[in-house]
Structures are given as structure tokens and as C-alpha cells.
């Protein structure tokens, strides 16, 4: 790299993160959900290939990023809060700095690139070191109103170093959070890692003609009465946003403990209601009853019998599902972002989680789904292999 680089670009963030990439290099993500970059199994591939730099900022806002190939200045070195190295393989002589608005996904139909967001850089392999600066700690960085002064350092510096081989650079395996206000690197929690021990007791019960497998995030349609009942229940600020979902109401039936994080209603084109959240764990119904017009259940945690799954069987199931996902048009129509879903399954290592994600993707009767919940890891994997037999 011969020409000196010293360019500063401002970026506003949409989701407390900024990204550096060329759109053509991420065109294969155009059908993926907007949050694909926060899933380790997906973003680690882009980091490894040098197609993306992604940095969590800790909060939304406007940030200035300085790009250089001459190293950090003495002032910048003094205020480095944390740094992270990325692989970067430039193939188009330029990159785009984005606050998350144009990153390729199914939600970005017609990207609108800011002309000032482009950075010219020669093609080649680079080590890109991103440093977050605690710029506000420098005397004179802010005025009496707390506004950055003209001489203030930037929030970030990205240093480009040419390398002979990308393999010489160790890429991140998680989406890193380089917050200028924090002296350490943090990582975004992955949805499949979120868990919460169930406190056995009484919970609002929703009966559904299908099984909800734990670990699956979804939007659940509600009848208007159910929606209004939940609204009424949540008027008590001490009420947790938790329900139990089950396809059967008899004692000893197995259901799912569901943590919902959103409620929404729409009047167009017809009135509809839904909640969004994630299934956390299996529960067993001890008793169901009516309380003030609401259906409730007394539940306890449920653990299937333990028989470990064979690693060869796990690999066989993943291969059969990959073949199924690539060929079955019913699956492709039924599962949103079906390629991304299959990519997730290929990366799963926990046999029970793998089994539940595969089962969720298959077109099974409720009775068959319910039977799968009670199986050990070993039997669950074997049963699904048989169901996917060509």
C-alpha cells in the first residue's frame, strides 16, 4: 500500500452497530433476515472470508470513523478503549461504511447508498484493526454543553495493513461490541443461547393446534379475546411476559414455556393480533383451570429421558436435512428465510436443539410432533433420520 490514507467518514447507526463492506460481496445474504449478522454461524463465515467488518457501538447515535494505513497517532494510542482485528479481502477497489440501513437482507429491497459513505482502497488482502477511542476523556474534547469540539478525536480508527495471506489474520467468531465507553470487548448474546430456568407454578395457558419447539423464535397469531386478556393481565406491572403453550390440556401433557417480547395488532387488510417471542423450555401440565375467564395451568419443568445421540447420527441428520431443504419446495414455501434456516441447522452442535429445529421445519401432524417431545436425544435424532429418508 503506497498512497497514504487519512479519511474520516461520519456514520449514523440504525441498530447500535456499523458495517464496512462492498454490497456485491454480500449479495448472497439478500434473502436472509435483517439480523443475520448477529448470528455467529452466519457472520463468522463473512468475517473468515474477509467480506465484512462489523462493530457494535453500544448505543445508537452518530459516530466519526477515521481510516488510515499509517497507524494510529500518539493521541489516538493514548485513548484506545479496545481493539479488534478483522480480515479484509477487497475486490472492488472500494468499500461502503453503513450504519445498518443498507446491509443486504430480505428487508432491503432498494438500497440507497450515501455518496459520502464510500471509501476507496486498492484491491488486496488486509488486516483491518478497528480501535474504539475514549475520545471524550481527552481534555478539551467537549465544550460546556458536552458537544464534541472540532479538535476532538474520532470515535473509531480503522487501520489497514497489507498482508500476503488472509490466513495470517485471526478473524472474530462473534459479532464484537467495541464501545468507546467500555475498556473491554463484549459480544452480542445469540438467541439460541438465551435460557431461563422455569419457576414451577401457575402460568397463563394458550391452547394451539400445533407444537411449539423450544429455541424457535416466532410470531404467534392470537384471537382478539386472547389478545385483550393478555393486555388486561399485563396491566399489573409485576406480571411477567410469559405464557405456556400446549396442543393438549390434559394433565401430564407436554407444553412449551414461551417468553414473549412484543404484542401487536393491525387493522389492515383485516384485523389481526399477535405476540412475538421465543420458546424457552418444555413443561408438563399438572392441572389446567379457569381464573377470571382466563385459561391457566400449573406446570413444572419437563426433561425427556437421557440417552446420548451418536455423533455419526447427528452428522447424518444434518446431511439429510440439507438435501431436503435444497429440494423440497413445500419446505421452501413454509419456512421464512429457508436458506438461512438450513444454514443454522448445519451449524448446530447440541443434538436436542438440532432435533427441535429439524422437527419444526417438517410438515408433521400434531400427534407426531407431540410424540417427538418425549424422546431422548438418541431416539429423537434417529426418528428424524427415518422421517427424512429419501
Write out pLDDT tens, residues 366-387.
999 999 999 999 999 999 999 9
Set of cell numbers at residue 202: 401457575
Mention every residue, 6+ apart, whose C-beta is less than 8 A from residue 383: 372, 375
Residue from 264, 256, 269, 268 nearest 219 by CA = 264
DSSP state letters, 152-173: PPPSEEEEEEE-S-GGGS---S
Structure confidence at residue 198 (pLDDT)? 65
- Tallying the residues shown for the chain, one arrives at 390
Q: Distance from CA of residue 137 to its chain's centroid?
A: 33
Homologous superfamily (CATH) for 6-188: Competence, DNA-entry nuclease inhibitor, ComJ (2.60.34.30)
How many whole angstroms separate alpha carbon 236 and alpha carbon 213? 29
For the domain spanning 201-301, the CATH number is 2.30.130.40
SS3 content of the chain, % helix, strand, coil (to 5): 30, 30, 40
Strand partners, 84: 130
How many whole angstroms separate alpha carbon 18 and alpha carbon 50? 16
What is Dmax (Cα atoms) for the chain?
76
How many whole angstroms separate alpha carbon 8 and alpha carbon 21? 16
State the number of CA atoms in the 13 A half-sphere of 99 facing the CB: 20
How many whole angstroms separate alpha carbon 176 and alpha carbon 185? 7
Write out pLDDT tens, residues 252-288.
999 999 999 999 998 777 889 999 999 999 999 999 9
Is the fold of 6-188 the same as that of 201-301? no
Write out pLDDT tens, residues 79-120.
999 999 999 999 999 999 999 999 999 999 888 999 999 999
Residue from 226, 146, 175 nearest 35 by CA = 175
Please give the order of strands across the beta sheet that includes 62-68: 6-12, 62-68, 156-162, 124-133, 80-90
Average pLDDT over residues 16-37: 97
How many whole angstroms separate alpha carbon 343 and alpha carbon 337? 10
Phi, psi of 323 (to 5 degrees): -65, -40
How many whole angstroms separate alpha carbon 132 and alpha carbon 242? 38
Q: Is 344 left (phi over 0), alpha (psi -120 to 50) or beta?
A: alpha
Average pLDDT over residues 34-52: 97
Strand partners, 99: none
Which residue would you say has higher pLDDT here, 199 or 250? 250
Question: Residue 186: pLDDT above 60?
Answer: no
Domain range list for the chain = 6-188, 201-301, 311-387
- What's the whole-model pTM score? 0.87
Contact 83, 18 (CB under 8 A): no
How many whole angstroms separate alpha carbon 389 and alpha carbon 386? 5
How many whole angstroms separate alpha carbon 73 and alpha carbon 187? 27
Set of cell numbers at residue 139: 481534555
**CA-angle at 99, arms to 94 and 100, nearest 5°:** 100
Q: Distance from CA of residue 131 to its chain's centroid?
A: 24
Could you give the dihedral angle defined by the CA atoms of residues 39, 41, 45 and 51, in that order, rounded to the nearest 10 degrees?
A: -10
Question: Residue 192: pLDDT above 70?
Answer: no
Structure confidence at residue 175 (pLDDT)? 95
How many whole angstroms separate alpha carbon 334 and alpha carbon 66? 45
Helix (H, G, I), strand (E, B) or coil at 42: helix
How many whole angstroms separate alpha carbon 354 and alpha carbon 344? 9
Question: Residue 251: pLDDT above 90?
Answer: yes
Contact 356, 343 (CB under 8 A): no
How many whole angstroms separate alpha carbon 314 and alpha carbon 336? 24
Rg for the chain (alpha carbons), in Å? 25
Residue 13 pLDDT level (bands cut at 50, 70, 90): very high
Amino acid at each position: 500500500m503506497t498512497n497514504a490514507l487519512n479519511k474520516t467518514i461520519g456514520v449514523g447507526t440504525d441498530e447500535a452497530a456499523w458495517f464496512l463492506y462492498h454490497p456485491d460481496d454480500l449479495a448472497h445474504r439478500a434473502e436472509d433476515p435483517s439480523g443475520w449478522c448477529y448470528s455467529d454461524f452466519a457472520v463468522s463465515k463473512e468475517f473468515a472470508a474477509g467480506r465484512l467488518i462489523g462493530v457494535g457501538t453500544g448505543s445508537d447515535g452518530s459516530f466519526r470513523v477515521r481510516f488510515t494505513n499509517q497507524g494510529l497517532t500518539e493521541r489516538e494510542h493514548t485513548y484506545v478503549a479496545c481493539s479488534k482485528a478483522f480480515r479484509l479481502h477487497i475486490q472492488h477497489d472500494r468499500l461502503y461504511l453503513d450504519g445498518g440501513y443498507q446491509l443486504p437482507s430480505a428487508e432491503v429491497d432498494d438500497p440507497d447508498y450515501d455518496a459520502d459513505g464510500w471509501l476507496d482502497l486498492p484491491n488486496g488482502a488486509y488486516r483491518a484493526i478497528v480501535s474504539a477511542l475514549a475520545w471524550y476523556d481527552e481534555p478539551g474534547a467537549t465544550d460546556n454543553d458536552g458537544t464534541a469540539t472540532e479538535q476532538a478525536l474520532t470515535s473509531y480508527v480503522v487501520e489497514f495493513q497489507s498482508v500476503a495471506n488472509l490466513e495470517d489474520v485471526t478473524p472474530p467468531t462473534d459479532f464484537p461490541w467495541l464501545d468507546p465507553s467500555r475498556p473491554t470487548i463484549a459480544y452480542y448474546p445469540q438467541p439460541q443461547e438465551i435460557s431461563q430456568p422455569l419457576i414451577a407454578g401457575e402460568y397463563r395457558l394458550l391452547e394451539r393446534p400445533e407444537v411449539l419447539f423450544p429455541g424457535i423464535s416466532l410470531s404467534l397469531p392470537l384471537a382478539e379475546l386472547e389478545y385483550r386478556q393478555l393486555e388486561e393481565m399485563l396491566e399489573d406491572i409485576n406480571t411477567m411476559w410469559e405464557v405456556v403453550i400446549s396442543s393438549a390440556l390434559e394433565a401430564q401433557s407436554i407444553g412449551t414455556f414461551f417468553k414473549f417480547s412484543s404484542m401487536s395488532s393491525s387493522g389492515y387488510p383485516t384485523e389481526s393480533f399477535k405476540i412475538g417471542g421465543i420458546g424457552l423450555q418444555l413443561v408438563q401440565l399438572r392441572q389446567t383451570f379457569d381464573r377470571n375467564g382466563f385459561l391457566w395451568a400449573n406446570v413444572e419443568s419437563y426433561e425427556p429421558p437421557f440417552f446420548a445421540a451418536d455423533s455419526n447420527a447427528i452428522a447424518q441428520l444434518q446431511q439429510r436435512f440439507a438435501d431436503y431443504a435444497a429440494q423440497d419446495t413445500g419446505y421452501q414455501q413454509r419456512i421464512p428465510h429457508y436458506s438461512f434456516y438450513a444454514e443454522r441447522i448445519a451449524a448446530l452442535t447440541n443434538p436436542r436443539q438440532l432435533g427441535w429445529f429439524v422437527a419444526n421445519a417438517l410438515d408433521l401432524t400434531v400427534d407426531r410432533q407431540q410424540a417427538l417431545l418425549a424422546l431422548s436425544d438418541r431416539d429423537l435424532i434417529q426418528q428424524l433420520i427415518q422421517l427424512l429418508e429419501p
